[in-house]
Structure 1
Amino acid sequence: MKVSVCIPAYKNPAFLRRALDSLVLQQMESWELVITDDSPDDSVRQVADEYSQRLPIRYFKNTPAHGMPANWNTAYDKCQGDYIKILHDDDWLESPLALQKMTAALDAHPDTDLVFSAYRNQYLATGRTEEVHCSAFYQQLLQEDPVNLFQTNFIGPPSVIMHRNKPAYRYDVQTRWVVDINFYMEVLTHNPRFVYIDEVLVNVGIGEEQITQDCFRNREVEIPENFYLLQKRGVKALNNIYVYDFFWRNMRNLEIRNAADLQVSRLAVPIPPTVLQIVQRQRVFPLSVLRIGPVSKLLMTLSFLFRKRA
């Protein structure tokens, strides 16, 4: 088995049909489709049955539901292919050659574990679309150190990747907000080589119900997970200006004005002194000033130069 496509599903039958329709068109041999179902009803099972004659489906019902991202790992544990292509049920492949092109990239680079492509955001409520490409600058940052993903997630959501099937490559069930970035950092720490395909091969459906929308600008989620990720990477990562800039923006955007604002219920890791220094320095300025992009960037740079080294 060459490729395992896995769909960790949850009661989105209409979206799932769209994803499966894109898989029916794939010009690819020697692959399987693993569906792990967290739904409280039979809606996903019924759709899987509809496509069972057109796709090489292996369906598994989770009882009880495993939740996100444990359901992603459940799908991974069922995969038999050399490569894994995760596809969330609200995303779909753009090209009938998408699987083939990603597979060919890994075949051509046996020393590489990860391939990702450009993608198109599809805003489901408005119909607006947006192509996202990884610039040469971001590719260089990724080559230098995966910790630069703190700066921004320039790989994209999990549906845009394919990687070798290795037991070490699993999602951290302690995370939701940083789950994809943490996964990429883990993979690239094991093997820093990657291949980027500068062609839109995946459509990413963006709706209000997504977990990212629920977590965005939520102190109770963002603060503990960002510090947890920093702890895993090592606090010395704050000596990287891109990581420092991320925490500068994070503290500003979450309107953290003193150390007490960081004491959220899920915070189980110590607050690095460097971040406390960021908070103290930002308090000198009104938030309205910090929200002026060029001004904030200048203040961040000065703060970085005179920081307390981690």
Structure 2
Amino acid sequence: MKVAVCIPAYKNVQYLRRVLDSLVMQDYTDWELVVTDDSPDAAVEALLQEYQGRLPFRYYRNTPAQGMPANWNVCYDKADAEYIKIMHDDDWFTTPDALRKMAEALDQHPECDFVFSAFRECFIDHPGKEREVHCSTFYRQLLKQDPVHLFQKNFIGPPSGCMHRNRPEYRYDVRLQWLVDVDFYINLLRHKPGFVYLDEVLVNIGISDLQLTKSCHGVRTVEIPEYFYLLRKTGEQSLQSLYVYDFFWRLMRNLGVRREHELYEAGMQGETPAVVKYILKCQRPFPFRLLRIGALNKILVGLSFAGRPRK
């Protein structure tokens, strides 16, 4: 098969039916569905049996459950196809040609391993509330320059909006949760620079108030260990980018960090990067309320960046 649609499932049968229905309507035929199930019961398997003959699927029950994102990797390891299209069980395709358009984009660009599209956020807890998300020309240019600019903002979006070539080195780091998708994108695009962007909403993304991204935002003991772990993986030289520097400046400000020991108390491992020590020193004389004034903050970031440690 050309494409493996990988669904790492966990209990959400009511949402899973929606993505399966969106797969039934696809006009592309060179694909198969791979489902790896972390659920504590047989509800997912029972639902799939309803699609016998309508969907070309392979089902695997994880015993024991793998958890997120390990289950994503299990699903990838089961895939035999040339391309992988991950779909989380609360996301779904918007049009019958969505799968075909992504696959054709990779077919037409053999120099690239990665394609992503615009998407629509659908707020599950607020029926009717939707928001389209497109990747601007500016953000695409930043991505071409260096994928570490994803520190500033994940302007690619969630994994369900992406398709990529099936290579063993493209796997998710199980030590991450909050930043697992950003880490994956940086790893892939550093391994194989170049991408295709489709400025068309091909996927709906289910957004819930209970999702991990909601519960982790602004939590020191989540954000600090993961951002500094990712910084070590990408290299401290990433802080020489103004956009990455600006992100860590805002991270320290938004989390209310003043001193280096607070980073360790929050769970950071290893040495504090010299540039981060410098950021803390630059911010210390100013009350946080002043650092949140947009114009003043931009001036301080610009001036301090000019004097940053270069090593």
Same fold flag (TM > 0.5): yes
For 1:113, the equivalent position in structure 2 comes to: 113
Secondary structure in 1 aligned to 2:289? helix
Shift >4 Å, 4+ stretches: none
Q: Using the alignment, how far apart are the partners of 2:53 and 2:217 within structure 1? A: 40
**How far did 1:209 drift?**
2.0
Q: Given that residues 224 and 269 in structure 1 are in contact (C-alpha distance below 8 angstroms), is that contact kept between their aligned partners in structure 2?
A: no
What does 1:95-106 correspond to in 2, within 5 Å?
Answer: 95-106=95-106
1:76-95 matches, within 5 Å, as: 76-95=76-95
* SS of aligned partner of 2:265: coil
Among all aligned residue pairs of Structure 1 and Structure 2, give the percentage whose two residues are the same amino acid.
57
Are 1:261 and 2:250 an aligned pair?
no
Is the Cα–Cα contact under 8 Å of residues 224 and 266 in structure 2 kept in the other structure?
Answer: no
Native 8 Å contact 2:118 2:132 kept in 1? yes
Aligned to 2:271: 270
Render the CA deviation track for 1:43-83: whole Å, top value 9, x for unaligned: 21221122223111111111111011100000000011110
Give the Cα–Cα distance (whole angstroms) in 2 for the partners of residues 298 and 182 of structure 1.
30
Q: How do 1:141-180 and structure 2 match up within 5 A?
A: 141-180=142-181
Aligned to 2:187: 186
| Residue 54 in structure 1 maps to residue 35 in structure 2 | no
Please say if 1:18 is aligned against 2:12: no
The residue identity in structure 1 corresponding to 2:25 is L
What does 1:128-143 align with in structure 2 at a 5 Å threshold? 128-143=129-144
Number of residue pairs matched by the alignment: 310
Partner AA of 1:262 in structure 2:
L
Amino acid at match of 2:119: Y
Change beyond 3 A, Cα 1:151–1:265: closer
Aligned partners of 1:41 and 1:300: how far apart in 2? 52
Contact 1:6 1:87 in 2 (8 A): yes
Deviation at 1:265, TM superposition (A): 5.5
Show the counterpart of 1:73. 73
CA offset digits 1:136-195 (Å, max 9, x no partner): 111111111111111111110100100000111000111111111110111111111110
Shift, 1:260, TM fit: 2.1
SS at match of 2:256: coil
What SS does the corresponding residue of 1:116 show, helix, strand or coil?
Answer: strand
Could you tell me how far apart the structure 1 residues matched to 2:59 and 2:252 are? Answer: 43
Q: Is the 8 A contact 1:37 1:44 kept in 2?
A: yes
Cα RMSD for the two superposed structures? 1.1
- Structure 2: distance between partners of 1:219 and 1:52: 46
Q: Which amino acid aligns with 2:139?
A: Y
Cα deviation, residue 295, structure 1: 1.9
Shift of residue 21, structure 1, vs aligned partner: 1.0
- CA-to-partner distance for each residue in 1:265-285, whole Å, 9 max, x for gaps? 542232112112212221211
Whether 1:237 and 2:245 are equivalent positions in the alignment is no
Is the CA contact (8 Å cut-off) linking 1:7 and 1:87 kept in structure 2? yes
Residues 148, 242 of structure 1: 8 Å contact kept: yes
- SS of match in other structure, 1:8: strand
Q: Is the 8 A contact 2:8 2:37 kept in 1?
A: yes
- Mapped contact 1:219–1:264 kept (Cα < 8 A): no
State whether residues 220 and 266 of structure 2, in contact with CA within 8 Å, keep that contact through their aligned partners in structure 1. no
CA distance in 2, matches of 1:299, 1:14: 49
Instruction: Check the 8 A contact 1:178/1:225 in 2, yes or no.
Output: yes
8 Å contact 1:28–1:97 — kept in the other structure? Answer: yes
> How high is the TM-score relative to the length of structure 2?
0.97
Residues 151 and 243 in structure 1, CA contact (< 8 A), matched pair in contact too: yes
CA deviation map 1:55-114 (0-9, x unaligned)? 111111111110111000000000111100000011111111000000010000111100
Q: Is the 8 A contact 1:123 1:207 kept in 2?
A: yes
Decide which moves more: 192-201 or 41-50. Answer: 41-50
Partner in structure 2 of residue 63 of structure 1: 63
Per-residue CA deviation, residues 194-249 of structure 1 (Å, 9 max, x unaligned), is 10000000111110221111221111111011011111111011111011011011
Task: In structure 2, list runs of 5 or more residues that go unmatched.
Answer: none
The equivalent residue for 1:30 is: 30
- Runs of 5+ in structure 1 lacking a partner? none
Contact between 2:9 and 2:44, CA under 8 Å: does it hold in 1?
A: yes
Task: Give the superposition deviation at 1:263.
Answer: 1.4
Q: Distance in 2 between matches of 1:204 and 1:57?
A: 22
